[in-house]
Structure formats: structure tokens, C-alpha cells
Amino acid sequence: MPVGRWFVDENLVKVGRALSQVRVDVVFPGSERLPQVPRGCDDEVWLPIVGQAGWAVITRDRRIRSRPVERLRFEQHGVRSFCITGTQEMNDWEKLSLLVRQWAAMASQYDALGGGPWMCSVTSHGVSKMPQLPPMP
């Protein structure tokens, strides 16, 4: 396994590529440093890999913890996640800029919250832990 701490979901792959150019602890689907997660890899496949490695997911997909199969993997493997939220559409530059501005707060939350599963919201106003979902039926 590569040395990492941050896994950028494929829905932010351009942002992941940019971050990985300046940070050795960032990987994304299709990254040479993460051959077991190719581009197009289903969430239910990579969630266990990322969760077991203890990496934090950076995504735009907040529903990852509510779709039944993905939620099961999310919870079983203690996934830690940061989700860019908000109603406004953002281009890749705006997403990258937001993450860079909030990086220290994300790292602080990662350390403070410890093992997952958990998800934090990332907005221009800051980083905050999202409430746990009720137990699955």
C-alpha cells in the first residue's frame, strides 16, 4: 500500500490529480500510487480498501452513506470522509480552492475524530461533522 492519508473520490478526479502533484499523501482512482483502485472502480469496492488503510475520503457524494450497499461498506470499514456540500455548482478550480482553504481544518478534524465511520461537511464557512444516520433496518 502506498503512503497516504487522503483519497480523492473519482467525482473529483481532476482535483485529486492537482492535489497529488503537491502532496505525496493524496491518491485517487487510477493513481499510479494506488493500482488496486482503477478509474471506474465501484464505490463498494474501494470503500473497504480506503477504510482499512485509515485514509480520509474527499468527495462530493454525500449519499455514499445512505445507499444500502455503500453505507454497509462505509460503516463496516470505518470510513472517514469529507464531503464538499452546498447547493451552488462549483467548477474544479473552485473545489480545489475550497479544499486548500479548508485543508488545516480538515486535518484537525481527522485527528480529533479518530476512527470512523464519520462524515464531515466542507463549505466556505468551515468543516463540521455531519450527524450519524439512524441504524439501517
Write out the chain's pLDDT in tens, 137 residues.
Answer: 445 689 999 999 999 999 999 999 999 999 988 888 999 999 889 999 999 999 999 999 867 766 788 888 888 999 999 999 977 889 999 999 999 999 999 999 999 998 889 999 999 999 999 987 767 66
Type of residue numbered 68: P
Residue among 56, 16, 100, 123 at smallest CA distance from 47:
56
Type of residue numbered 87: T
Type of residue numbered 116: G
| Torsion angle of the four alpha carbons 19, 24, 30, 33, in this order, in degrees rounded to the nearest 10 | 180
Residue among 70, 26, 6, 114 at smallest CA distance from 17:
26
Query: pTM score, two decimals?
Result: 0.90
Q: What is d(CA 43, CA 137) in angstroms, rounded to the nearest whole number?
A: 21
User: For residue 132, what is the DSSP state?
Assistant: P
